[in-house]
Amino acid sequence: MIEFVRNVRLWFAPAEVRRDGETPDYRFSLANERTFLAWLRTALALIGGGFAVDQFLPDLRWGWRVGLALALLAAGVLCSLRAVNHWVRCERAMRRGEDLPVSRFPALLSLVVAVVAVAMVVVVLVGWEG
């Protein structure tokens, strides 16, 4: 968490990132940028999913519908914050010639998506009965 706060400072201080180590081959930087964009798209997809739950499951009870939608929106927020954080960490590791940072986040996100998917199936079945 403290590491995260320290990285937040780096998001807005390009000079500080550039002071570290040496500039890597620009192709690596571009690959890192594309990974960041892929995570950002994942975040946008989760946010879109939140809207979709709200819009396309109108028969659900209010609580379930809003709860699921908010969970997906929150997942989108987390995912986008993590995207920029991971990008900064990778950029710094490349400049310093260190190993790229490992992360638990992909596993965590896939678990959350799986749980939400199962919850949606259950809720849709139960919701349509009641």
73 binds another protein (CB under 8 A): yes
DSSP codes of every residue in 20-57: SS-PPPHHHHHHHHHHHHHHHHHHHHHHHHHHHHHHH-
CA nearest neighbour of 82 among 35, 24, 16, 45: 35
Q: Is 24 left (phi over 0), alpha (psi -120 to 50) or beta?
A: beta
Asked if residue 74 binds another protein (CB under 8 A), the reply is yes
- Within 11-50, the residues that bind another protein by CB under 8 A are 11-14, 17-18, 23, 26-27, 29-34, 36-38, 40-41, 43-45, 47-48, 50
Instruction: Name the site residues for another protein (rule: CB under 8 A).
Output: 10-14, 17-18, 23, 26-27, 29-34, 36-38, 40-41, 43-45, 47-48, 50-52, 54-55, 66, 69-70, 73-74, 76-77, 80-81, 83-84, 87-88, 91
